Amino acid sequence: MTGPVLEIERYTLDYQTGRSTLRVLDDISLDISAGEVVGLVGESGSGKSSLAWAIMRHLAGNARERGGQLRLDGEDLRGLSSSRLQALRGSRLAMIFQDPSAALNPTLSIGEQVAEVLVRHQGLSLREAWARGVALLGGVELKSPEAMMRRYPHELSGGEKQRVLISTAFACRPRCLIFDEPTTALDVISAAQILALFTRLREETGVSALYISHDLALVSRVADRVAILERGRLVESAPAATIFSAPAHEYTRRLVSAVPDPARRLIDQPPASATALLEIHKLGVSYGRPGFVDRLFGRASETTQALRELTMTLSPAEVVGVVGESGSGKSSLAKALVGLTPFAGEIRFEGRVLSNAAGMNRAYRRQVQMVFQHPDASLNPRQRIGEQLARPLRLYGLAPGESEKHAVARWLEEVRLPAEFASRYPHELSGGQKQRVAIARAFAARPALVICDEITAALDVSVQATVIELLLELRKRHGTAYLFITHDLNLVRQIAHRIAVMYRGDLVEMIDAATLDARGASHPYTRALLEAVPRPLRGHPAPSSLQGTP
């Protein structure tokens, strides 16, 4: 096959909002050759999903196409009738979504949904389609595909659902596939398995693909070529092998330097630990309480054990990273430590033994602060930034000789925000700015330990980098210890002294970051986790040899 499969030529798209128009895609030109995988990387709001929907010809009602062409095998997609488009979608052009649970109909069995595609686009009878479906599910490494066909989406895990969707997308031998953040909603290990599956299917079928993601490290592993989108403009398009080693555009350079790289440690001086700051002894958290009927009949009730007998020690000014998949109990640990959930076991702090949340006195509340994942939720939407920053000051006192107004301004300055933000409401700030306010609020109590629960997960990479930089600077200035909870192993290896690896409520390994770098992990789960994390493809002496076959 000669010529590109998908051609995007000088494509421009606006969104009409009220009286003004917002340019989402500006003069985009991008070709995807047969068998090539092009990665499209951009931060939120860069227009990457809009491009995907423009190619699928399913744009929002307020979208206005200002020019340019979209061609699949030389056929102009923009001029197609809706019946032609329907025949095209799912057969020659297919799309895989971020959230597999939203993309499957919860009221139809997997088999019905897979067979429907085959009946519709390949003209098979229902019986043939069902048989093909079983073969397809087997092809994406799903166990017992026949039983799987009769199941409903809620009976499958996220990774399994994504496999089902991939199998249907590949079923009709599409010319081009569009992936919109297909692994973002999955945990690290399932994501790695999905990527391995995609790589295999791609070799077998020679499909072309547009792989959209915010994760540059991941895209550099998956794609042959990477295109960088910044606010609707395509700023750079380069082979995946060279994007990390030789980023040409200034924005790409910024993006590359923001991607966490475990080889680049951002923290030094292991703390001189004479005494422990906080000792956690056999901490357990369980959810669900016995129901009324259960208690009446003395029945044993089902409670979920979110955290089992966790024991660890934190030293002053130490950064301990906690990593694990969703449901591993990391957030339960954080909530127990600040008394937001009942717990079993003991917390020892400054010579005091705490066995329940009621035992947490003012001194403990002041010294142990928490920053939450979503700044939208953790800042009260109806209070001005200044009022919220003043609360810890009012509760725990001001520095001598400082007025409350000055203290608020100083804390805003410490997190590098202008002082006039004090009179604003949270919704007037960007995500990164809100998270800075939340950090300032935690630090205003002058704590000894700050618990950070996935605080950068909702932020873009470049914003994440600046927030991390801020945290490290504050630590240097105030000597604060961090319990840094994250799913991002690369990030935690950059900034933590020790890393706690959690799996389904158990602490499986506590390892020094230095030891991890030098000797690798000892526990098999940690090793699996390490292998699953996509590490940025760094430059090698001969990048051309690493290039994928276009």
Partner 1 sequence: MPDSLKRLLRSPQGMIGAVILLACLVLVLLGPWLAPYDHQALSITERYRPPGAEHWLGTDQLGRDIASRILVGARATILLSLLATGLAMLIGAMLGTACAYLGGRFDEVMMRTMDALMSIPSLLFALLIVSTLGKSGMNAVLAITVSFIPGMVRIARSVALAQRRQDYVGAAIARGESSLWIVSRELLPNIAAPIIVEATIRVAFAIMLFATLSFLGLGAQPPAPEWGLMVAEARGYFFQAPWMMLMPGLAIALVAIGFNLLGDGLRDALNPRSGER
The one-letter amino acid code at 198 reads F
Q: What is the distance between the alpha carbons of residues 547 and 130, in angstroms, rounded to a whole number?
A: 39
Determine contact, residues 342/522, Cβ cutoff 8 Å. no
Nearest residue (CB) to partner 1, 89 versus 374: 374
- Contact between 295 and partner 1 by CB under 8 A: the answer reads no
Q: How far is the CB of 212 from partner 1 (least distance, A)?
A: 25
Residue from 441, 487, 497, 498 binding partner 1 (CB under 8 A)? 441
- Contact between 456 and partner 1 by CB under 8 A: the answer reads no
What are the two backbone dihedrals, phi and then psi, of residue 209, each rounded to the nearest 5 degrees? -150, 150
Residue from 92, 101, 124, 425 binding partner 1 (CB under 8 A)? 425
Per-residue DSSP letter, 89 = B
Is the sign of the CA dihedral 251, 254, 258, 263 positive or negative? Answer: positive
- Contact between 291 and partner 1 by CB under 8 A: the answer reads no
Q: The tokens of 512 are what?
A: 């020094």
Q: What is the distance between the alpha carbons of residues 309 and 328, in angstroms, rounded to a whole number?
A: 13
Name, in order, each residue with C-beta under 8 angstroms of 109's C-beta and a sequence gap of 6 or more: 149, 150, 151, 152
- Contact between 445 and partner 1 by CB under 8 A: the answer reads yes
Q: How far is CA 443 from the centre of its chain?
A: 26
Footprint of partner 1 on residues 318-347 (CB under 8 A)? 335, 338-340
Stretches 70-78, 319-327, 344-352, 437-445: which one binds partner 1 (CB under 8 A)?
437-445
Residue from 58, 64, 416, 427 binding partner 1 (CB under 8 A)? 427
Determine contact, residues 192/531, Cβ cutoff 8 Å. yes
The alpha-carbon radius of gyration of the chain (Å, integer) is 26
- Contact between 365 and partner 1 by CB under 8 A: the answer reads yes
Residue from 50, 369, 433, 435 binding partner 1 (CB under 8 A)? 369
Nearest residue (CB) to partner 1, 124 versus 338: 338
> Going residue by residue from 11 to 50, which x/- string records binding to partner 1, judged by CB under 8 A?
------xx--------------------------------
Q: How far is the CB of 365 from partner 1 (least distance, A)?
A: 3
Q: How far is the CB of 336 from partner 1 (least distance, A)?
A: 11
Longest Cα–Cα distance in the chain:
83
Per-residue DSSP letter, 79 = G
Q: How far is the CB of 345 from partner 1 (least distance, A)?
A: 19
Footprint of partner 1 on residues 371-400 (CB under 8 A)? 372-374, 377-383, 391-392, 395
Rounded to 10 deg, the angle between the 524-532 and 188-205 helix axes is: 50
CA distances to 291, 303, 356 from 285, in Å: 18, 10, 11
Nearest residue (CB) to partner 1, 13 versus 337: 337
- Contact between 152 and partner 1 by CB under 8 A: the answer reads no
Determine contact, residues 424/384, Cβ cutoff 8 Å. yes
| Interstrand relation of 37-42 and 506-512 (parallel, antiparallel or unpaired) | unpaired
- Contact between 57 and partner 1 by CB under 8 A: the answer reads no
Q: The tokens of 535 are what?
A: 């590490």
Footprint of partner 1 (CB under 8 A): 17-18, 335, 338-340, 360, 362, 365-366, 368-370, 372-374, 377-383, 391-392, 395, 425, 427, 438, 441, 445
